C-alpha cells in the first residue's frame, strides 16, 4: 500500500516537474469579456505552431484591450499582413506579452505611433520605445481589439514570451478556460516504416477504424503487423461555449505499459516552428486537408516539444508476440481521450513493397543540388528538404515543373530564369509566377538583375514567367472630385491590382504626405481626418499606387472641408 502511494506521489511530482515553473496569477485576462478561444497555444497551422491564444471578441472589433500586467511598451509593429497592428509589453519579471490584430491603440500610444508614421511617411512601421517612454499599469487600457493583418475574423491574438522571446503556453500562468469536453479523435493511422515491415499485410499507410467503447475510450480491431511501425493521430480539442476545433495540450503513447512517446505544448522557439511540417504527415495534409500528427520522430526533426521519447516512438513488432499500444490525448484542463490498439506480431512473406518513385533527380537533404535546362536553373540548398528524396523535375519551354506541393520545403529553393531573349520593354513588365489551380499565375517575389530573374520558393509546383501590363485600379469610396466633405471623419479609397499585386501606395494633400491605413482584406485605404494632417479648406488629393512590376496609377481629386 505504501509503495502504491509512493508511486502515485512520484507520478504526480513528475507531471508537475515536466511543466516549466512560472508565476501563477501574475497575468490578467487582457479583455473584459470571458475567455473563449478560437485558437489554442501550439495549435497546428500552416507551416507553424500557433504561438498564443486567439481570444474571441464576440464577433466585433473595438473591445478594450488591457495590459495583462505592469510593464512598458517595448515594441510596436504595424504590418499589412502577419499580426497587423501589434503591441509588445515587457514586464519587470522578464516576460513579454504580445497583443495582435489590433484595431487601434490607446490615445497615448496612438499619438506616439502616428507621430512616427508621419515622420517615416509609412503606415507599416516598427518601433522600440525606451523603458521610460510608455509605462503601463496592470489592467490599463492599451489598445482596442480588431481584425488587422492575417486575421480571419475579429479576435485578439495574445502571447506570453519568455526572456528569450520563446512563446509559452499562456495557460501555464494560471489563465483558465472553461473546458469540460474531451479531445476529439478524428482519425488514427499506422505506418509501416521498414522495407519488410507491414500493417495488416500492407506496406502502405493504413487508416485504422476506431471502435468507441461504453466507458468513453476507443479501441481498434486487432492489427496484424511486423517490423518497425509507427502511428499517427488526427485530433482536436473543443472547449465549452465555442464550437472551434482547437489544438490539444499533450499526446502520449505507451507500449505494454512503458512510455514510448510524449509531446507537450508548453513552449517552443520561432526558429523551430516550421519543423511542424515533419511532425505532421504533410503529404496526407496536402491531399486531404487534415493534419495527422506522427507519434514517432523523424530523424531530422529537432522540435523541443518532444519529451520522453523511446526509440523515436517507433515500435519493433516481432513475430508471434502480442502488444498493447495505448494513445492518450489530453487537453489543458486535463480531459483525456484514450485509444487502445491491440497488435498481433505476425511475420508474412509476400508483402507488396511500398511504391517508390525513382526519377533522375535524387536530392539528399544534407547536400545542395542544382540543375538547369531551357535557361531555367534550380538551386536547392542543403537543408531545404527534410528527407532524401527523388524529385520529379521537368522543363517545358518557359515552365519548370518542380515536383509536387505535397512535399514540404524547409528553406528557400532558388529558381532563376534567363530572360535575354526578351525586349527590354517586355522584361520590365515580367515577373516569376507560380501557376496554381487552372494555371492561374500568382506573383512570386522576383529579383531582377540584368538578364537574370530569380525567386525564392517554399512550395513545390509549376513556375514560369508572366507579364503584368495593367496599372493598379483606384476608386474613391466616400467622396468624389470637387465635393464638400466637411462631415466625413475619414477619406476612403479602394485599390487593387489584377496580377502582380500592390507594391506601394502614397497619398498627399496639397503636396503634403497624409497617412492612409491599408487593409488588404477589403482592398481599402483609409485616412483619418482626426490626424490633423488636412488643415485647408480647398484640398488637392493625390494618390499614387504602384504594382510589383512598376505599373503606376495616379488618382487626383479636389475636396473641400471646413
Ligand atoms: Zn493567433
Q: Tell me: the pLDDT tens digits for 471-503?
A: 999 999 999 999 999 999 999 999 999 999 999
Q: How far, in Å, from the CA of 19 to the mean position of ligand 1?
A: 22
Least confident among 9-18, 31-40, 215-224: 9-18
Return the pLDDT at 4.
Answer: 52
Q: Tell me: the pLDDT tens digits for 402-432?
A: 999 999 999 999 999 999 999 999 999 999 9
Q: How far, in Å, from the CA of 338 to the mean position of ligand 1?
A: 28
Looking at residues 67-85, what average pLDDT do you find?
98
Return the pLDDT at 15.
Answer: 47
Q: How far, in Å, from the CA of 52 to the mean position of ligand 1?
A: 6
Q: With 50 as the cut, is the pLDDT of residue 145 above it?
A: yes
Q: How far, in Å, from the CA of 466 to the mean position of ligand 1?
A: 34
Q: With 50 as the cut, is the pLDDT of residue 150 above it?
A: yes
Q: Tell me: the pLDDT tens digits for 314-356?
A: 999 999 999 999 999 999 999 999 999 999 999 887 778 877 7
Contact 277, 299 (CB under 8 A): no
Return the pLDDT at 18.
Answer: 63
Q: How many CB atoms lie within 10 A of CB 485?
A: 16
Return the pLDDT at 167.
Answer: 98
Q: How far, in Å, from the CA of 82 to the mean position of ligand 1?
A: 10
Least confident among 156-165, 194-203, 380-389, 438-447: 194-203
Q: With 70 as the cut, is the pLDDT of residue 6 above it?
A: no
313 torsion bin: left (phi>0), alpha (psi -120 to 50), beta (else):
left
Q: Tell me: the pLDDT tens digits for 290-314?
A: 999 999 999 889 999 999 889 899 9
Q: How far, in Å, from the CA of 58 to the mean position of ligand 1?
A: 16
Contacts 24+ apart (CB under 8 A), 476-485: 476/555, 476/557, 477/524, 479/557, 479/559, 480/557, 481/557, 481/558, 481/559, 482/557, 482/558, 482/559, 483/559, 483/560, 484/559, 484/560, 484/561, 484/562, 485/559, 485/560, 485/561
pTM of the entire predicted model: 0.93
Contact 103, 147 (CB under 8 A): yes
Return the pLDDT at 16.
Answer: 44
Q: What is the largest CA-CA distance in the chain?
A: 91
Q: Tell me: the pLDDT tens digits for 544-560?
A: 999 999 999 999 999 99
Amino acid at each position: 500500500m505504501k509503495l502504491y502511494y509512493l508511486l502515485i506521489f512520484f507520478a504526480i511530482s513528475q507531471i508537475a516537474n515536466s511543466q516549466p515553473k512560472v508565476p501563477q496569477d501574475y497575468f490578467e485576462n487582457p479583455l473584459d469579456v470571458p475567455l473563449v478561444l478560437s485558437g489554442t497555444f501550439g495549435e497546428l497551422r500552416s507551416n507553424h505552431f500557433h504561438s498564443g491564444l486567439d481570444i474571441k471578441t464576440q464577433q466585433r472589433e473595438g473591445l478594450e484591450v488591457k495590459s495583462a500586467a505592469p510593464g512598458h511598451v517595448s515594441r510596436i509593429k504595424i504590418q499589412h499582413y502577419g499580426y497587423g497592428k501589434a503591441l509588445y509589453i515587457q514586464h519587470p519579471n522578464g516576460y513579454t506579452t504580445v497583443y495582435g490584430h489590433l484595431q487601434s491603440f490607446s490615445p497615448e500610444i496612438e499619438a506616439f505611433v502616428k507621430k512616427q508614421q508621419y515622420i517615416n511617411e509609412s503606415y507599416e512601421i516598427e518601433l522600440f520605445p525606451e523603458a521610460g517612454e510608455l509605462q503601463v499599469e496592470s489592467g490599463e487600457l492599451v489598445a482596442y481589439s480588431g481584425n488587422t493583418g492575417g486575421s480571419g475574423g475579429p479576435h485578439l491574438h495574445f502571447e506570453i514570451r519568455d526572456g528569450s522571446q520563446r512563446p509559452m503556453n499562456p495557460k501555464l500562468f494560471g489563465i483558465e478556460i472553461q473546458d469540460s469536453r474531451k479531445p476529439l479523435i478524428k482519425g488514427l493511422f499506422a505506418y509501416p516504416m521498414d522495407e519488410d515491415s507491414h500493417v495488416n499485410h500492407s506496406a502502405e499507410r493504413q487508416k485504422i477504424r476506431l471502435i468507441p467503447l461504453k466507458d468513453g475510450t476507443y479501441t481498434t480491431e486487432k492489427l496484424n503487423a511486423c517490423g518497425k511501425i509507427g502511428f499517427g493521430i488526427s485530433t482536436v480539442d473543443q472547449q465549452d461555449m465555442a464550437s472551434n476545433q482547437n489544438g490539444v495540450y499533450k499526446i502520449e503513447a505507451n507500449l505494454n505499459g512503458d512510455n514510448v512517446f510524449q509531446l507537450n505544448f508548453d513552449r517552443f522557439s520561432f526558429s523551430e516552428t516550421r519543423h511542424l511540417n515533419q511532425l505532421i504527415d504533410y503529404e496526407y495534409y496536402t491531399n486531404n486537408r487534415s493534419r495527422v500528427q506522427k507519434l514517432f520522430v523523424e530523424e531530422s526533426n529537432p522540435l523541443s516539444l518532444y519529451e520522453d521519447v523511446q526509440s523515436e516512438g517507433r515500435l519493433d513488432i516481432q513475430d508471434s508476440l502480442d502488444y498493447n499500444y495505448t494513445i492518450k490525448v489530453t487537453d489543458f484542463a486535463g480531459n483525456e481521450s484514450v485509444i487502445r490498439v491491440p497488435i498481433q506480431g505476425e511475420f508474412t512473406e509476400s508483402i507488396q513493397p511500398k511504391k517508390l518513385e525513382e526519377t533522375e533527380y535524387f536530392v539528399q537533404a544534407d547536400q545542395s543540388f542544382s540543375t538547369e535546362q531551357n535557361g531555367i536553373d534550380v538551386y536547392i540548398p542543403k537543408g531545404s528538404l527534410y528527407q532524401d528524396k527523388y524529385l520529379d523535375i521537368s522543363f517545358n519551354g518557359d515552365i519548370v515543373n518542380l515536383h509536387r506541393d505535397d512535399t514540404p520545403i524547409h528553406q528557400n529553393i532558388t529558381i532563376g530564369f534567363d530572360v535575354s531573349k526578351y525586349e527590354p520593354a517586355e522584361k520590365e513588365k515580367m515577373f516569376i509566377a507560380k501557376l496554381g489551380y487552372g494555371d492561374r499565375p500568382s506573383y512570386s517575389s522576383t529579383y531582377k538583375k540584368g538578364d537574370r530573374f530569380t525567386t525564392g520558393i517554399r512550395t513545390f509546383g509549376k513556375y514560369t514567367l508572366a507579364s503584368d501590363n495593367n496599372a493598379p485600379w483606384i476608386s474613391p469610396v466616400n467622396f468624389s472630385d470637387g465635393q464638400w466633405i466637411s462631415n466625413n471623419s475619414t477619406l476612403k479609397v479602394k485599390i487593387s491590382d489584377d496580377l502582380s499585386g500592390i507594391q506601394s501606395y502614397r497619398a498627399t494633400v496639397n503636396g503634403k504626405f497624409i497617412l492612409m491605413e491599408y487593409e488588404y482584406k477589403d482592398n481599402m485605404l483609409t485616412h483619418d481626418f482626426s490626424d490633423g494632417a488636412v488643415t485647408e479648406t480647398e484640398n488637392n488629393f493625390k494618390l499614387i499606387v504602384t504594382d510589383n512590376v512598376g505599373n503606376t496609377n495616379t488618382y487626383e481629386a479636389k475636396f473641400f472641408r471646413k
